[in-house]
Structure 1
Amino acid sequence: MTITDVTTAEVRGEPRWRAAVRDAIPAIGIYIFLRLISLEVMSVLARYSYAQDPTKQVYPDGSTNQWRGYTSSLDALVSWDARWYTMIAGQGIGGPLGAVDASGVPYEHRLMFFPLYPWLARPLAQLPFVSPVAACMVISLISAIAAAWGLYLIGRHVHDHRVGIMLAAAWAVAPAAMTQNGAFSESLFTALAAWALWAVLTERWVLAGALAGLSGLSRPTAAALIGVVGLAALIAAIRRRGGWRPYAAMLLAPAGLLGYVGYASHRLGGVDRYFDIHENTFGAWWDYGTSTSKVVWDVMLGNSEDAGKPIRVLNVLILFGFLILLAMLFANRVPWVLSVYALATLVLAAGSHAHISMMGRHLLPAFTVLLVPAVALARTSTRNMVMLLGSLAVLSGWYAGWLPFISGQAI
């Protein structure tokens, strides 16, 4: 909340927290409404797809070593990495080093999934009549609402109230937006990132460092946020702003990421073993963008049989669109922490070896580039804005939901 907002609330005799909630309600409401439309469209597509081929097997479930199909939209929302998260939420990390679970999958593979999201869901999953899937869905819903609120605050801080609302709306229809509502860590990490960046913009250094530290427990790409928060705190310390607080932020920001990697490496017998499993089991390692650039060229030139697959074309377009929005973000001279965070997220997403179908999901937390369309939406008439967002909500049920999940490739 800015100084102006606080002063106005105090003049009205309204508590700060109540004013903050009241101001954010339109952004949260629009976000939820747009997501509900997308989810309904995805549900229709799921029912139609199942009617066409009820026995279709779509993806290999690494948590059980079985192939799975989609009988409903819920199956899609609990697919791929979500299978691991729901399993960890229900069973925990599991047995000792070298042991395997009932499906013959080594327990050590669970250590590759950062724990904050399943940790938050696990207490709910222990309640009577609450399944691990339901517990994860509750955490995703709460996290998505918190993320929409954080996006609104950033949009309002940088521009105004209307831009804040439109930023939350744009994130609701972004590519791969369905992972916001599935058993994935995207919503949780985005919420932590949004509030951490807002804390940096408003010079709440301890809060920024603590949130960045927590984000390091949610996913490895939190390194982008950790770096930005740490750099901003360092600059504040050099300029002697904030007293001891920027130093605290610098210490807190990397604590979660370093702590978990250290813990997992210790459990596995060494950091080499940790990265070896990432590379040889999950196909994830730093390759300086070699795999990404190869797919981009294949799609552009049509050099392979898979080049024309819709999921590949879509994600190459997502990458190009992101680059354009990022350039415009820098050109519009927003606070540097927002543009550098988006750039760092892009570098981590494009520089790692991963299937191209994961590009939209990996870039989803880089919401700051959506300030560009948010400003454009805020300047349009209400009628045109409603028509555009409504159309995108319907379309996103396909391009941001069903297509990524049903592609049969990594998500």
Structure 2
Amino acid sequence: MRAAAWAATPAIGLYLVLRSLSLDVMYVLASHAHVRAPGKEVFPDGTINNQWRSFTSFMDALLSWDARWYTKITELGLGGPLGAVDSDGVPYQLRLMFFPLYPWLARPLTYLPFVSPVAACLIVSFISAVAAAWGLYAIGRHLHSHRVGILLACVWALAPAAMTQNGAFTESLFTALAVWALYNVLKERWLIAGLLAGISGLSRPTAAALIGTVGLAALVAAISRRGGWRPYAAMLLAPVGLLAYIGYASYRLGGVGKYFEVHQNTFGAEWDWGKSAWTTVTDIMMGVGDDNGNKPIRILSVLILAGFLILLALLVSRAPWQLTVYAAATLILVVGSRAHISMMGRHLLPAFPVLLIPAVALARAKDRDLVILLASMALLSGWYAGWLPFISGQAI
């Protein structure tokens, strides 16, 4: 462990430098935007009426949308009598729509002196991001080289919506679990892979992509008679967390149907076989639909999706099939569910295997050119992180 941590130090260090540079740019842009348009309404206030409010600082972006729910759950827990509402007028049952692992990890930190729920969430995100960067380095080194491992962590730091890695969101936590689970799949350490996949099911519903990938890889190993009884154990462990939480939430709400009904009616989240994504993308490409059909954020989101598809196609023949299956399954879950198009970058962020393609390409560059390119991309990532919430006023 000590040797592995030491080898990953350059990757983690560069990851932190790039994220710091991006956040600095985001801070400057947010401050400028606030001076130019202090009354611009950007974020919902988290009450039952979901009134929009203006921003005050770049922290608003790191603590907006889903992050407002996670900080609230960290402070007050998942509990509360069904049918009742909290101090903001929000029904307690809505908290059950958010998976508990992230606030569970943050809540104990709030018992420490001077650690608020917000600080606790950001600490968990920071530790998770470092763990994810370490895991990305491990996979890149395992498949290619030390240099590719470092650059894989760097590219993930610069991906669209990378700002959520540092906010009170689950992207860093789930990516860390996914990276290390898949690393152990490649190493055929089935018990660890199954356990991590099982834990990931408590973090977010799209963990189904990881669970399915680990289960399929374990099944192939079992059929090939590799690993003895361990692949069978991995197949049993992988879905435990996801099934357990959906079962618990459904029991509290009075049935599985009620659970998905609340998701659909309150948050507009439902499986629609990609209908909404297809309609949105085609409308944007043809310049039809609502009055904002050509809004830049919508066009950028389509470009992000197109870029992901290209990288996924290139990944097929350049990486182990387990990584390709996981990335493809993540894409299917993201595109197949109804969500605002501007959330595409955040939802695809855990699909890290596609970043192997640019990481390998960058590894061929000279050090001087690489420094210039990475720094430029960090500035661009910081601009996008500030422009998306503060200027475009779109969902993160």
Counterpart of 2:262, as a letter, is I
Q: How far off its partner does 1:112 sit? A: 0.3
The aligned counterpart of 2:389 is: 405
Provide the C-alpha distance between the structure 2 equivalents of 1:134 and 1:63, rounded to a whole number of angstroms: 21
Unaligned runs of at least 5 residues, structure 1 = 1-16
> Is 1:63–1:84's contact at 8 Å kept on the other side of the alignment?
no
The aligned counterpart of 2:124 is: 139
Unaligned runs of at least 5 residues, structure 2 = none
Provide the C-alpha distance between the structure 1 equivalents of 2:45 and 2:311, rounded to a whole number of angstroms: 35
Q: Does 1:312 align with 2:298?
A: yes
Provide the C-alpha distance between the structure 1 equivalents of 2:133 and 2:176, rounded to a whole number of angstroms: 8
Q: How far off its partner does 1:67 sit? A: 2.1
CA RMSD of aligned residues (A): 1.0
Provide the C-alpha distance between the structure 2 equivalents of 1:398 and 1:219, rounded to a whole number of angstroms: 28
SS for the counterpart of 2:156 is helix
Q: 1:164 aligns with which of 149, 152, 163?
A: 149
Q: Which runs of 4+ in 1 moved over 4 A?
A: none
Q: How far off its partner does 1:404 sit? A: 2.7
Q: How far off its partner does 1:63 sit? A: 4.8
> Is 1:163–1:378's contact at 8 Å kept on the other side of the alignment?
yes
The aligned counterpart of 2:316 is: 330
The aligned counterpart of 2:29 is: 45
The aligned counterpart of 2:239 is: 254
Provide the C-alpha distance between the structure 2 equivalents of 1:115 and 1:66, rounded to a whole number of angstroms: 25
Provide the C-alpha distance between the structure 1 equivalents of 2:369 and 2:394, rounded to a whole number of angstroms: 36
The aligned counterpart of 1:19 is: 3
Q: 2:367 aligns with which of 379, 382, 402?
A: 382
Deviation digits for residues 169-222 of structure 1, max 9, x if unmatched?
000000010000000000000000000000000011000000000110000000
Provide the C-alpha distance between the structure 2 equivalents of 1:127 and 1:157, rounded to a whole number of angstroms: 38
> Is 2:42–2:53's contact at 8 Å kept on the other side of the alignment?
yes
The aligned counterpart of 1:86 is: 71
The aligned counterpart of 1:297 is: 282
SS for the counterpart of 2:52 is strand
Structure-1-length-normalised TM-score: 0.94
Deviation digits for residues 272-300 of structure 1, max 9, x if unmatched?
11000100100000011111111111111
Correspondence list, 1:141-220, <5 A: 141-220=126-205
Q: How far off its partner does 1:409 sit? A: 2.6
Provide the C-alpha distance between the structure 1 equivalents of 2:394 and 2:134, rounded to a whole number of angstroms: 32
Q: How far off its partner does 1:240 sit? A: 1.1
> Is 2:327–2:351's contact at 8 Å kept on the other side of the alignment?
yes
Aligned pairs, number: 393
Counterpart of 2:366, as a letter, is S
Provide the C-alpha distance between the structure 2 equivalents of 1:356 and 1:409, rounded to a whole number of angstroms: 9
Q: How far off its partner does 1:384 sit? A: 0.9
> Is 1:311–1:403's contact at 8 Å kept on the other side of the alignment?
no
Correspondence list, 1:93-112, <5 A: 93-112=78-97
Provide the C-alpha distance between the structure 2 equivalents of 1:161 and 1:63, rounded to a whole number of angstroms: 48
The aligned counterpart of 1:12 is: none
Q: How far off its partner does 1:74 sit? A: 0.7
Provide the C-alpha distance between the structure 2 equivalents of 1:88 and 1:347, rounded to a whole number of angstroms: 29
Counterpart of 1:52, as a letter, is R
Paired-residue identity, %? 69
> Is 2:342–2:395's contact at 8 Å kept on the other side of the alignment?
yes
Provide the C-alpha distance between the structure 1 equivalents of 2:44 and 2:233, rounded to a whole number of angstroms: 44
> Is 1:236–1:246's contact at 8 Å kept on the other side of the alignment?
yes
Residues 40 and 218 of structure 1: CA distance in aligned 2, closer, same or farther (over 3 Å): same
Q: 1:113 aligns with which of 98, 109, 112?
A: 98
> Is 1:345–1:363's contact at 8 Å kept on the other side of the alignment?
yes
Provide the C-alpha distance between the structure 2 equivalents of 1:79 and 1:63, rounded to a whole number of angstroms: 13
Provide the C-alpha distance between the structure 1 equivalents of 2:205 and 2:367, rounded to a whole number of angstroms: 39
The aligned counterpart of 1:6 is: none
The aligned counterpart of 1:268 is: 253
Provide the C-alpha distance between the structure 1 equivalents of 2:78 and 2:332, rounded to a whole number of angstroms: 30
> Is 1:63–1:83's contact at 8 Å kept on the other side of the alignment?
no
Q: How far off its partner does 1:59 sit? A: 2.4
Provide the C-alpha distance between the structure 1 equivalents of 2:388 and 2:226, rounded to a whole number of angstroms: 45
Deviation digits for residues 79-130 of structure 1, max 9, x if unmatched?
0000000000011013111111111110000000000001100011222321
Query: Which 10-residue stretch deviates more, 306-315 or 354-363?
Result: 306-315
> Is 1:99–1:107's contact at 8 Å kept on the other side of the alignment?
yes
The aligned counterpart of 1:70 is: 55
